[in-house]
Structure 1
Amino acid sequence: MSGLSERERAGCIKILQLMSKGDLLSLSDTVTNKLIVVENVTEATETILSFTKNAEELLKRKKVYRDLIFKYLAKEGVAMPPSSEKHQLVRKTLELWSSRKAGVDESLLGDTDETRQRSSTKIASDSTNMKVEVGFDPQALGQQFCQWFFQLLNSQNPSLGQQPQDWGPQHFWPDVKLRLVSRAGSEQMEEFLGAELVNLRLLALTRDEHLLLSPNLDPLGLKVLASPHGLVLVAVAGTIHRDGACLGIFEQIFGLIRSPLENNSWKIKFVNMKIRGQDALGGTEVAAPALSYNSTELQLLCS
């Protein structure tokens, strides 16, 4: 009988879904010593999970390739160096599943648009209650927002092979502003105004350019400030990938304001984004980039 917890089982299913049909059927033969014949992917998945003693055993199987685990962690918003060895990725995955943070990740992603909308609203409602009863925690909101935002945006990348989630202009205020500065050799700056244009430009990063944005949610990579006027500033740094290669780093600042007409859900008021390619970094690879903004610069954006 399987010794997987509910959270481990859900994570294992996501990883198995990334495997080819041939590898999945082969893995099913391995775990059952070919005593059980399966006819399709669904049967193979259930059989593998049923005959798996624990999560670590499954992750260490030869057919569960290093790249699959790396891709899974990236989807979950966990930044790992592209050069990470399989045993490091396995350890990080087990830590993710055993931590409380993993429960937050799952609560942000439902199976349907309605579930996701309800989960997003729940976070906003909980934050409202905390502000009244036990003190508002901006850092917790920033962590939850980044996990939700980057999972949502990365799901639009067709190379990941997952069902795109409900990305769209509904997550932005109508007058939202985007300022995008990219430096790969020469510096380019783009500005966009309005929910539809901002939504489409950010969407193009993952859907059209096939980029994967992996945020660093450690203290050096994430800062959150709250103004007395209701604006919450979330600044985050991370790495940019395409097909397993690290292309550079990004820094992104979000301005969030609650919408009283939409169950007090948080919506994005502005986005400032800086992208630096490997050339601009001098060819050095940064596994977990730190924010270059200091507290004074961020305070100015809050005023």
Structure 2
Amino acid sequence: MSGLSETERTGLKTILSSMAKGDLMSLSDTVTNKMIAVENVTEAMETILSFSKNAEELLKRKKVYRELIFKYLAKEGVTMPPNSEKHQLVRRALELWSSVKVDEAKQQQPTTSESTDTKVEVGFDPLILGQQFCQWFFQLLNSQNPSLGQQPQEWGPQHFWPDVRLRLLSSAATEQMDEFLGAELVSLRLLALTSGEHLLFSPNLEPHGLRALASPHGLVLVAVAGTIHRDSACLGIFEQIFGLIRSPLAENSWKIKFVNLKIRGQDALGGAEVAAPSLSYNSSELQLLCS
């Protein structure tokens, strides 16, 4: 009776497991029209999943509160604006599960690397690489934030080239520029943003928030804009440029050569809209970084 994919079942089960027992039992009654009696939480979850027509129908149920979907997305590395409506969160969850199904299908093809670094298929489009890289990087970085209450993924200098450079420009009441050299220092400074300062990065992967260019000598430039959050507060916006170079030890694996990160707090924005920020860099400026 259920029209759920395995990916959707897994995601929905995670959301259901975060519900209060009373809400879960009530939802089971609603979904089955009280035709099936359940005795415990496990039976209730299986019944709900079995009798739901599709993922969208279940997510839109009143007992599946927007806060539950919001927290689920955050734990999956998808940080939404705190004032997002429930229908926006539902749509984003469905998009996430749909993209996971596509990724799983790609991973079954023989052209995919098995390396632990970020991967891409042979004959890649730079923009596709950019999207895949950003999804991987920000999910990895956000998982280090203890406020999410999730198991951190494997962060460390192994994702960077030994001579990597980080330029960090922060603008709030004042402007400050810092530079860090070497995989260890760069890794620790970026880690401190989420693990120490409890920041969450929400990249805008729509066309106006993401660009990617490839140079003839192998450097791929990925530029992305997004919002920065702490708990339920939006603190400002960021623009981040990554220089990626393919690792010779794994054909489809890439490591980070340089990072330029520009952070602007609410004070520096003057009340500007921050829901889905656009890149301020134009193509010519990005081409210069590629040369």
The code of the aligned residue for 1:222 comes to: L
Equivalent runs, 1:1-303 vs 2, <5 Å:
1-19=1-19, 24=24, 27-28=27-28, 31=31, 33=34, 35-38=37-40, 44-76=44-76, 78=78, 80-97=80-97, 99=98, 101-104=99-102, 118=114, 120=116, 123-124=119-120, 126=121, 129-130=122-123, 136-303=124-291
Structure 1 residues 210 and 87, CA gap change in structure 2 (3 angstroms) = same
The code of the aligned residue for 2:188 comes to: L
C-alpha distance in structure 2 between counterparts of 1:108 and 1:119, whole Å: 15
1:152-210 deviations in Å (ceiling 9; x for gaps) = 11111122222211111111111111111111111122211111111111111111211
**RMSD of aligned residue pairs (Cα, Å):** 2.7
C-alpha distance in structure 1 between counterparts of 2:158 and 2:136, whole Å: 14
Q: Number of aligned pairs?
A: 284
Q: How much has 1:54 moved relative to structure 2?
A: 2.1
The code of the aligned residue for 1:165 comes to: Q
The answer on whether the counterparts of 1:107 and 1:119 sit within 8 Å (CA) in structure 2 is no
Question: Please, what TM-score do these two structures have when normalized by structure 2?
Answer: 0.86
C-alpha distance in structure 1 between counterparts of 2:149 and 2:29, whole Å: 25
The code of the aligned residue for 1:223 comes to: R
Structure 1 residues 46 and 216, CA gap change in structure 2 (3 angstroms) = same
Q: How much has 1:18 moved relative to structure 2?
A: 4.4
Structure 1 residues 25 and 204, CA gap change in structure 2 (3 angstroms) = farther
Question: Please, what TM-score do these two structures have when normalized by structure 1?
Answer: 0.83
The answer on whether the counterparts of 1:250 and 1:275 sit within 8 Å (CA) in structure 2 is yes
Structure 1 residues 79 and 207, CA gap change in structure 2 (3 angstroms) = closer
Q: How much has 1:75 moved relative to structure 2?
A: 4.6
Structure 1 residues 154 and 108, CA gap change in structure 2 (3 angstroms) = farther
1:215-259 deviations in Å (ceiling 9; x for gaps) = 001111001011111000000000111112211100000000011
Q: Residue 133 of structure 1 aligns with which residue?
A: none
Q: How much has 1:283 moved relative to structure 2?
A: 2.8
Greater shift, 158-167 or 170-179, is seen at 158-167
Q: Residue 112 of structure 1 aligns with which residue?
A: none
C-alpha distance in structure 1 between counterparts of 2:197 and 2:209, whole Å: 24
The code of the aligned residue for 2:285 comes to: E
SS in 1 for 2:260: strand
C-alpha distance in structure 2 between counterparts of 1:222 and 1:254, whole Å: 11
- Give the unaligned 5+ runs of structure 2: 108-112
Structure 1 residues 247 and 104, CA gap change in structure 2 (3 angstroms) = farther
C-alpha distance in structure 2 between counterparts of 1:200 and 1:28, whole Å: 46
Greater shift, 77-86 or 185-194, is seen at 77-86
Structure 1 residues 182 and 22, CA gap change in structure 2 (3 angstroms) = farther
